[in-house]
């Protein structure tokens, strides 16, 4: 536990809010919904019983209110693992650091953090508009290499099986991914009736996801052909997006529960795209909120 966090490390605005998010400790609920799109914040909070906080700075828009007897916050992160690094660290600071004393609180608070996002499906049986909940994430980003953390035995075995799988496929990937599980408690409740699987998190939309327009990528599109066949027990690699591994990794380090739920807008194996993406996202929002309201 750090005795004192200097102003260069814990940056507090003159009004007592945290540097990027522009939030004060009292602005944060016990349940956190993260969305990428700023405009999706209001689409979520319109379902709250009341909204008591509305703040924004840069791409970070936050609404906090009440859903039943739960105090809940929805916040936009923007796109990518780098923004998740900011949001998770600052949310944790708001609930677990005493801003006046500039030191960690003795008693820590555990947040329940649920991502409501969009994703690309990689398996033919998971069609567009289907909901996917991530049992684990496979990080193609490098965020967790900057933090001290210890993968679980399951995560270590996942990584080992992945490398053995690539060797059998005679594919030499330029990426050394890390694996991290989400909250089993949240997965069991919120993801009970939905498809579940391993989610790849990429640090970009084009080259890191095997898309090429004019620039040539080192990541061969052939790797995505192999993904259909990888198995870890009954789990498959189901989808591809840009935030989940960072969300799961930092939540693990900081002691929070996290779950990523996404709706498939594009199916990469079928080359299809949702006919009504707005309706698909709205359905995901209402389904997840209903299950959060039922959490004990």
Tens-place pLDDT, residues 8-28: 999 999 999 999 999 999 999
Q: Does 213 score more than 80 pLDDT?
A: yes
Side-chain-side CA neighbours of residue 207 (13 Å): 9
Tens digit of each residue's pLDDT (9 = 90 or more) over 168-178 = 877 777 778 99
Q: Is 46 exposed, middle or buried (0-12, 13-18, 19+ CB in 10 A)?
A: exposed
Candidates 61, 92, 235; CA nearest to 165 is: 235
Q: Does 145 score more than 70 pLDDT?
A: yes
Assign 218 a pLDDT band (cuts: 50, 70, 90).
confident
pLDDT value of residue 167: 86
| List of residues 6+ apart from 107 with CB closer than 8 A | none
Assign 221 a pLDDT band (cuts: 50, 70, 90).
low
Q: Which two tokens stand for residue 58?
A: 């840069």
Task: Write down the pTM of the prediction.
Answer: 0.96
pLDDT value of residue 228: 81
Q: Does 294 score more than 90 pLDDT?
A: yes
For range 247-252, the mean pLDDT: 98
For range 182-208, the mean pLDDT: 95
Helix (H, G, I), strand (E, B) or coil at 29: coil
Candidates 258, 194, 202, 280; CA nearest to 31 is: 258
Side-chain-side CA neighbours of residue 285 (13 Å): 20
Q: What does the mean pLDDT of the chain come to? A: 94
Q: What angle do CA 157, 159, 161 make, to 5 degrees?
A: 65
Span of 72-81, 211-220, 232-241 with lowest mean pLDDT: 211-220
pLDDT value of residue 1: 66
Tens digit of each residue's pLDDT (9 = 90 or more) over 20-60 = 999 999 999 999 999 999 999 999 999 999 999 999 999 99
Bigger pLDDT: 226 or 85? 85
Helix (H, G, I), strand (E, B) or coil at 130: coil
Q: Does 214 score more than 90 pLDDT?
A: yes
In the chain the beta strands, taken as DSSP E runs, fall at 31-35, 50-57, 60-67, 70-76, 97-98, 103-104, 112-121, 131-139, 178-181, 195-201, 231-232, 235-241, 257-267, 272-273
């Amino acid at each position: 536990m750090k005795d004192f966090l200097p102003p260069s490390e814990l940056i507090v605005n003159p009004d007592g809010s945290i540097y990027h998010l522009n939030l004060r400790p009292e602005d944060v609920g016990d349940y956190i919904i993260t969305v990428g799109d700023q405009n999706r914040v209001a689409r979520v909070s319109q379902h709250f019983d009341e909204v008591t906080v509305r703040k924004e700075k840069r791409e970070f828009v936050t609404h906090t209110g009440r859903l039943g007897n739960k105090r809940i916050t929805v916040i936009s992160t923007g796109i990518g693992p780098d923004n998740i690094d900011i949001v998770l660290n600052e949310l944790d600071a708001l609930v677990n650091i005493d801003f006046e004393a500039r030191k960690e609180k003795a008693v820590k608070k555990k947040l329940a953090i649920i991502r409501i996002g969009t994703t690309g499906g990689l398996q033919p049986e998971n069609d567009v508009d289907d909901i996917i909940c991530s049992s684990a994430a496979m990080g193609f980003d490098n965020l967790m290499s900057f933090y001290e953390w210890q993968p679980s035995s399951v995560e270590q075995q996942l990584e080992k099986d992945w490398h053995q799988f690539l060797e059998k496929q005679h594919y030499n990937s330029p990426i050394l991914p890390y694996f991290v599980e989400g909250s089993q408690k949240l997965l069991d409740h919120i993801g009970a009736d939905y498809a579940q699987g391993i989610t790849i998190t990429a640090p970009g939309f084009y080259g890191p996801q095997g898309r090429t327009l004019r620039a040539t990528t080192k990541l061969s599109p052939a790797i995505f052909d192999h993904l259909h066949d990888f198995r870890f027990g009954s789990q498959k690699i189901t989808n591809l997006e840009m935030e989940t591994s960072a969300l799961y990794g930092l939540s693990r380090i900081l002691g929070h529960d996290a779950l990523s739920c996404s709706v498939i807008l594009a199916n990469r194996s079928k080359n299809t795209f949702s006919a009504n993406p707005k309706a698909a996202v709205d359905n995901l929002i209402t389904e997840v909120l209903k299950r959060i309201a039922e959490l004990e």
